[in-house]
Amino acid sequence: MPASTFELACELIARHSVTPEDGGCMDVVARHLAPLGFQLERMDRGRVSNLWARRGSRGPVLCFAGHTDVVPTGPLDQWHGDPFKPEVRDSFLYGRGAADMKSSIAAFVTAVERFTARQPDHAGAIALLLTSDEEGPALDGTVRAVDTLKARGETLDYCIVGEPTSAKCLADTIKNGRRGSLAGKLIVKGIQGHIAYPHLVRNPIHEVAPALAELAATVWDDGNEYFPPTSWQVSNFHAGTGADNVVPGTAEILFNFRFSTASTPDGLKARVHAILDRHGIEYALDWTLSGRPYLTPRGKLVGVVSQSIREVAGIETELSTSGGTSDGRFIADICPEVIELGPLNATIHKIDECIAVADIEQLSRIYERILDLALK
């Protein structure tokens, strides 16, 4: 008989899996998938655990993707219970990872168990891709597994990522894309000296200020149907020696673009350099591209997911590309249609993270219905 989604969620939450540790979560999942005929492959790298599981050799391939790692708990004395001892209070299940995203993984598994019990000879293939490196640097997790699959010519047709996307009630919002993230570390060079002798110094703060004002006022793009306009924000500005009578020799500015498909990384870089050069600043600038934007327009998967939510939950879902990055950015490299669908995100990464008990099973039923509609 299929496992209880609630009980499986509790078993996973009880595993200590602070990133990049898996805590044995993938072994739990593997024990459920192996009897169903899944071919299981570990793609571990260093301390990071990665699991690729597939049932079926034909297309189309529908993959459920997620992560078993969780963020640190924060101050334990502020929790109302042990974060790794799942507990139900007032119809909510509490524990680290309850919403982000061990309940989604449990729902993946039980949805697949019921679906394959009903349709042992289903069309296409079902896959699961799990990592313990989503909450951390994300260097050895999904991106490495995707590289391995790509190198041997394996692709996906549809992917459901179990990230917590819901806003006010389960499945009211799904992510059909995410913005890219491009960070810059700008070092502006000046000449340090005594503040009382301005003719002997060159103040990097004064020199960069007009450029920063122009960067902040720049319209980078207008967005599009799915994305808001690209945003540029300074996250840190550091200069000075700690003394009030010394002009600093350098100023360090950290900034970040969250950019849509209306812009490209190279285009954004070129515009920033042009602005800095126009202001005559002596500088060094290092760039880090941590994720490109991806987008799944309205089509087969959006339709299937929307219909499944309508039939199971009785609501119309909304498309969104808001929020930070997710592993969907890596999966999109081998999958043309990627949708994120999971629990409410109100308590993720917080003290007393939780999920409504009723939502756990309903999420599993939505995933099961997606399988019905996508693999027929």
Adjacency order of strands within the sheet including 173-175 = 39-42, 50-55, 125-131, 61-67, 158-161, 337-340, 173-175, 318-320
Hey, what are 110's tokens? 């039980």
User: Which amino acid is located at 368 in the chain?
Assistant: E
Q: Which residue has the tokens 């894309």?
A: 177
Distance, in Å, from the CA atom of 104 to the CA atom of 331, rounded to the nearest integer, reads 17
Hey, how many other C-beta atoms are within 10 angstroms of the C-beta on 95? 28
Distance, in Å, from the CA atom of 309 to the CA atom of 315, rounded to the nearest integer, reads 7
Closest CA to 20 of 201, 141, 103: 141
Farthest-apart Cα atoms in the chain, separation: 83
66 phi, psi to nearest 5 deg: -170, -175
Active site residue 134: yes
21, 100, 133, 134: the active-site residue: 134
Asked whether 21 and 128 are in contact (CB, 8 A), the reply is no
Q: What is the DSSP string of 171-191?
A: TSEEESEE-EEEEEEEEEE-B
Active site residue 133: no
Strands 61-67 and 246-247: unpaired
Hey, what are 336's tokens? 């043309």
Kindly list the distances between the CA atom of residue 282 and the CA atoms of 159, 183, 207, 247, 331, in Å, as whole numbers in the listed order: 46, 19, 9, 16, 39
21, 22, 69, 113: the active-site residue: 69
Q: Which residue numbers are catalytic?
A: 69, 134
